Amino acid sequence: MKKYLIIGLMILLGTNIIALSGVAFNRMGEPTAQLTLTERELSLPYNNRAEKENSGISLSIDWRIPTKEGEEYRSWAAKEINITKNEILALGFDPLDMKDNYWAESKELYWALELNGALYKAEVEKATTAYQMALATFEGDSNENNNRKQKETSKSLKREKTANSRLFFIEASADYESLATKFSEQKNILIVKGLIKPYFTKRHNSYRLLLKHLSVEHIMVPLEYSEVFLNPKSLAKGKAVHYSVDIKWGSRLEPWVVGAK
């Protein structure tokens, strides 16, 4: 019994050493990116208000895809994009069987994300246009349906300006260096890893790329910063907690918190 206990402890110790070595390696050298995100891009767990202790807080990274060209503005859209067969091959996937709605196996690839840049500004413009059109329609014919539409678009525009995530997916690549070189002059670009699955849909006779999720979706908050996310005054009044978080991404493209307020 003692023998197995020792073996178990050795396995546990070895696992911890490997994990800590990975963390240390990730943080060596210059960070690959450093950004300041807010509650718009980093959401607290749903049970945060009920937490009694100020430890173990994990923030979820919220990202979006832009509204497709020619489509009406939507604050939320399915996380998939159109893609060509050649682009699928360039990402390292095998050719898809076009006889059925065929799904290939997922791959972990490199993603480029843009924070508070041209894509976000374009979304604000689209939301503004949607509201202006709805308002003009309502002023021309103030029926109940048009009134509801202009109120909905007004709320959507307000959320776009003040609450929705400003972190947008730009493109994926099988090669980190190609993305790093392409966006080297932009300080608001983040390159991370994420899972992607392509498929062909007979209904639309097109290829699609499903952006499943980031490889690292959550960021643990060090104990020294946890009080920032448990603001007693805001929580007592039932208000949202507003915060900004300084984050670095290391050589393994994994994030860690370096500041919060």
**In terms of Cα–Cα distance, which of 20, 17, 37, 44 is closest to 258?**
37
Cα separations in angstroms, 201 against 53, 67, 172: 48, 20, 20
Give the model confidence (pLDDT) of 7-61 as tens digits.
544 544 444 444 445 567 678 789 999 999 999 999 998 655 444 454 579 999 9
In what side-by-side order are the strands of the sheet with 255-260? 33-38, 244-249, 255-260
76 Cβ partners below 8 Å, 6+ apart?
Answer: 64
What's the pLDDT score for residue 50?
40
- 10-residue averages of pLDDT along the chain (261 residues): 51 46 72 96 73 69 91 84 91 72 83 97 96 96 95 96 97 96 96 94 86 96 89 59 94 96 94
| Paired sense of beta strands 206-214 and 80-83, if any | antiparallel
Q: Is the CA virtual torsion 82, 85, 88, 93 positive or negative?
A: positive
**Structure confidence at residue 18 (pLDDT):** 43
Both tokens of residue 222? 């060090």
DSSP state of 240: P
Q: What is the torsional sign of CA 37, 18, 45, 64?
A: positive
Distance, in Å, from the CA atom of 163 to the CA atom of 65, rounded to the nearest integer, reads 16
Instruction: Please report the pLDDT score of residue 171 as a whole number.
Output: 96
Would you put residue 30 in left (φ > 0), alpha (ψ -120 to 50) or beta?
Answer: beta
What's the Rg (C-alpha) of the chain?
A: 22
pLDDT at 239: 66
Q: What pLDDT is stored for residue 261 in this prediction?
A: 94
Q: Supply the pTM of this predicted model.
A: 0.85
* Confidence (pLDDT) at 240: 72
- What pLDDT score was predicted for residue 252? 95
